[in-house]
């Protein structure tokens, strides 16, 4: 008898490209950004990454457009723009 | 605090993967992201039915880079205790067995297994993410839904009070009990790291405002979570070997004039929009009385 155990494997996009859910797109205005890290800290989706210089970058394939990053940014450096 | 300060506590490594099925603005995602960062991914999660059962991903995919065991409601704490014993027998060190359960799964359906594991001082970390209702089945009230809140089963607002679960767990005399909030991730991460230094039963009660169930816009999860603490409705504390201590912002709120009026928190949420002036004063009075009791604990410790 062969026993098959269903084991799920980790994968980005387990629910597909969740960026398609977005109604508003967060866009970082880098001339205002003071690199405080709060958008990265509070993104529930882990859809903001920090590059080698710790500059935040939004991963639009997966960003669901919740707007928390824009709400928490202390210098209002993130604009929410209506998706087409 | 700044980027440097944040990165001193919060590792860059992610264990919750983007593109998972959680709602936009989900507090369970936030909490899981912080929990797994705090544990450096060295964990086995035991998860009873809840929104998280969905978030962990549709088979054959997983949204988490740690092993997850999906389990029946009443069995979470006892299953985790069993896994923890098995790891000991196999001589595997450094892997934390964690129950991650909702308020319904913890304060109602899983309470006897939780109490049993706490009484036996089983070597597990139990985290209750408290979104104050049964969200995954469509917003039914739980014993952790607060007084006055609308849910689909309390259409005129809940008439009973919220159960004080962290204090009930603390009465089991376990080594570590703490409250936390998704609005205060540094506090949460430090508590997780402190908790896992103890062998035995550790409990963290994580306040998790849910945009879908509490009827506020998805961009306000963190704002609502912070307001719960700033108004003193939710209190951040820890109890280490019986010693009580307020933490983070809550430690500066003993003076009532430092706390915001509860309405600042209530008015952001659709689930409270039917409340009368009397209801709001009643909630304010309950908060004031709770803080008088907390003062006594602070003085005793
Ligand atoms: C024994 C049993 N009863 C009922 C259900 C249906 N059920 C699935 S998730 C859920 C809600 C759990 O609420 P909570 O623990 O607060 O987690 P949340 O969904 O809010 O994240 C319920 C009732 C079930 N899966 N098993
Ligand atoms: S909108 Fe939400 S999901 Fe998108 S980057 Fe901002 S916080 Fe993350
Ligand atoms: S929160 Fe705003 S200021 Fe801070 S790093 Fe993000 S975009 Fe920059
Ligand atoms: Mg719940």
Q: What is the pLDDT of residues A35-69, one digit of tens each?
A: 999 999 999 999 999 999 999 999 999 999 999 99
B155-196 pLDDT, tens digit per residue, is: 999 999 999 999 999 999 999 999 999 999 999 999 999 999
Q: Is B138 left (phi over 0), alpha (psi -120 to 50) or beta?
A: left
Q: What is the pTM of this model?
A: 0.97
The domain that holds A66 is classified in CATH as: 3.30.70.20
> Which has the closest alpha carbon to B84: B198, B176, B192?
B198
Ligand 2 atom closest to residue B25's alpha carbon, by position in its atom list: 2
Range of the domain at A48: 29-82
DSSP line for B205-263:
EEE---HHHHT--GGGHHHHHHHHHHTTSS--EEEETTEEEE-GGGGG--SGGGSPPTH
Q: Is residue A65, in this structure, part of any structural domain at all?
A: yes
Query: For residue B73, how far is its CA from the centre of ligand 1 (angstroms)?
Result: 7
Q: Is residue A61, in this structure, part of any structural domain at all?
A: yes
Burial of A9 (0-12, 13-18, 19+ CB in 10 A): exposed
A77 lines ligand 3 (CB under 6 A): yes
Q: What ligand has the least distance to the C-alpha of B48?
A: 1
B39-93 pLDDT, tens digit per residue, is: 999 999 999 999 999 999 999 999 999 999 999 999 999 999 999 999 999 999 9
Size of interface A-B (CB pairs under 8 A): 123
Indicate the residue of A18, A44, A62 with minimum beta-carbon distance to B25.
A44
Q: Is residue A6, in this structure, part of any structural domain at all?
A: no
User: CB-based contact (8 Å) between A33 and chain B?
Assistant: no
Residue A5 has a pLDDT of: 81
**CB atoms near residue B108 (< 10 Å):** 16
Q: Which residue of A has its CA nearest to B16?
A: A46
Q: What is the ipTM of this complex?
A: 0.96
Q: What ligand has the least distance to the C-alpha of A49?
A: 2
Tell me the residues of B at the A interface, defined by beta carbons under 8 Å apart: 2-3, 6-7, 10, 12, 14, 16-27, 29-30, 33, 56-65, 68, 185, 211, 217-223
**A35-69: b (≥16 Cβ within 10 Å) or e:** bbbbbbbbbbbbbbebeeeeebebbeebbbbbbbb
The minimum CA-CA distance between B227 and chain A, rounded to whole Å, is 13
pLDDT at A1 over 90: no
Cis omega (within 30 of 0) for bond into B60: yes
B251-277 pLDDT, tens digit per residue, is: 999 999 999 999 999 999 999 999 999
Contact A15 B21 (CB under 8 A): yes
- Can you say whether the dihedral through the CA atoms of B10, B14, B16, B19 is positive or negative? positive
Tell me what the pLDDT averaged over chain B comes to.
97
Residue A35 has a pLDDT of: 95
Q: In sequence order, what are the residues at sequence separation of 6 or more whose Cβ sits closer than 8 angstroms to the Cβ of residue B277? A: none
Alpha carbons B84 and B253: distance in angstroms, whole number? 38
Chain B contact probe: residue of A40, A45, A51 with most B CBs at under 10 A: A45
Note whether A68 and B219 are within 8 A (CB). yes
Residue B122 has a pLDDT of: 98
Note whether B39 and B96 are within 8 A (CB). yes
Indicate the residue of A14, A35, A59 with minimum beta-carbon distance to B61.
A14
Rg (CA), chain B: 18
* A67-to-A43, B89, B219 alpha-carbon distances in Å: 9, 47, 4
The hierarchical CATH code for the domain B13-300 is 3.40.50.970
Alpha carbons B11 and B122: distance in angstroms, whole number? 28
Rg (CA), chain A: 16
For A11, the token pair is: 């994968």
Q: Is residue A8, in this structure, part of any structural domain at all?
A: no
């Amino acid at each position: 008898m062969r026993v098959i155990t269903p084991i799920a494997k980790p994968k980005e996009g387990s629910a597909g490209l969740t960026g398609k859910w977005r109604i508003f797109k967060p866009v970082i205005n880098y001339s205002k950004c003071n690199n405080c890290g709060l958008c990265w800290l509070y993104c529930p989706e882990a859809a903001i990454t920090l590059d080698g210089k710790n500059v935040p970058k939004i991963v639009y394939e997966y960003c669901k457009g919740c707007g928390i990053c824009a709400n928490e940014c202390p210098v209002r450096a993130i604009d929410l723009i209506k998706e087409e | 605090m700044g980027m440097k300060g944040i990165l001193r506590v919060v590792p860059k490594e992610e264990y919750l993967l983007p593109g998972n099925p959680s709602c936009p603005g989900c507090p369970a995602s936030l909490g899981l992201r912080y929990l797994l960062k705090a544990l450096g991914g060295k964990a086995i999660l035991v998860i009873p039915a809840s929104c998280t059962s969905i978030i962990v991903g549709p088979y054959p995919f997983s949204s988490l880079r740690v092993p997850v065991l999906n389990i029946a409601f009443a069995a979470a704490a006892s299953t985790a205790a069993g896994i923890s014993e098995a790891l000991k027998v196999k001589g595997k060190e450094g892997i934390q067995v964690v129950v991650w359960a909702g308020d319904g799964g913890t304060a109602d359906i899983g309470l006897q297994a939780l109490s049993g594991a706490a009484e036996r001082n089983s070597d597990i970390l139990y985290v209750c993410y408290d979104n104050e209702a049964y969200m995954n089945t469509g917003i039914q009230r739980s014993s952790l839904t607060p007084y006055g809140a609308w849910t689909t089963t309390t259409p005129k607002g809940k008439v009973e009070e919220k159960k004080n679960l962290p204090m009930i767990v603390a009465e089991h005399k376990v080594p570590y009990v703490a409250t936390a909030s998704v609005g205060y991730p540094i506090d949460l991460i430090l508590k997780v790291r402190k908790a896992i230094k103890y062998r035995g039963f550790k409990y963290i009660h994580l306040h998790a405002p849910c945009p879908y169930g509490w009827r506020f816009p998805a961009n306000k999860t963190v704002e609502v979570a912070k307001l719960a603490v700033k108004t003193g409705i939710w209190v951040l504390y820890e109890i280490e070997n019986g010693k009580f201590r307020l933490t983070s912002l809550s430690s500066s709120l003993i003076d009532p004039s430092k706390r915001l009026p509860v309405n600042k928190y209530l008015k952001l949420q659709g689930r409270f929009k039917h409340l009368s002036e009397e209801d709001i004063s009643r909630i304010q009075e309950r908060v004031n009385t709770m803080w008088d009791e907390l003062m006594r604990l602070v003085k005793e410790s």
